[in-house]
Amino acid sequence: MLCRPVRAEEEHWAAARMGRTGYITVPILSVLAAIGYVYYTTVFLAIPAWLGLSTAAGLANAAVFTALAAACVATYAIAVSRDPGRVPASFVPDVEDAGSPIHEIKRKGGDLRYCQKCSHYKPPRAHHCRVCKRCVLRMDHHCIWINNCVGHENYKIFLVFVLYAVIASFYSMVLIIGGAVHLPKDEQPGSDSSRTAIIVCGVLLCPLALALMVLLGWHVYLILHNKTTIEYHEGVRATWLAEKAGNIYHHPYNLGVYENLVSVLGPNMLCWLCPISRNIGNGVRFRTSYDIPLSTSPM
């Protein structure tokens, strides 16, 4: 008589493990290894060759870069471990709620969005992740480099991590170029030489810094328009269909530049780049342009 409940409980925990994120994977180890290699090469090879660690300038640059590297590791760890946002089990859309002027519906049939795999309704901007095997609030994308979805709860920390990584990458490139230029000319090249390590690090940093810069620019664009990556691609199709029908598509969550920034980064401008503070809202309800009075149209 106990076989059925035990099996049901095992299936429940198996499903929970499959949907759990934050496990250490090869991409995560690769990111940590890259951070460690760049840090070692910059602080212990490039700075001593250019400025010297015993000088005030060398110590100051080493301290600043160490702080940047620590911020990168801390924000990266939070992005990996923080849950992106789970749909509350009790969530049911209230179509008669006057406070919710719009409801997202399916493209086919016009019904309220319902996840057959999770067996619950989807809040606005939520989507089902096939990797995490569950719905994620305000899902942007699933990132293999953090083995986690980027959603409502960890989107800001993900953005801050990318920003810190861009700053650290370009800062490291400056120090590495300076270190490579000031290396002794008589040093023999070899696999273990400082020159080889600095050159290899510089070669790796160039495409890495460029990719991070493009990623940061992309997400800054999305924030300014209050879109997710999924909503951007959906908006492209919606715009095409609207123009085909002679209409104009307007993204309903675009509140204007400042309000868009506040909705993601928080109301306090001094904490916008702070990795501790979170964004506002519960991830279930979002302000829309229909909530703004007609006299104050979005920017």
**Catalytic positions, please?**
143
Cβ pair 75, 160 in contact under 8 A? yes
Query: Radius of gyration over alpha carbons of the chain, in Å?
Result: 24
Residue whose C-alpha is closest to residue 263's, from 240, 247, 286, 246: 286
| The amino acid at 205 | L
Q: What is the DSSP secondary-structure string of 220-274?
A: HHHHHTT--HHHHHHHHHHHHHHHHTT-----TT---HHHHHHHHH-S-GGGTT-
Q: What are phi and psi of 221, to 5 degrees?
A: -60, -45
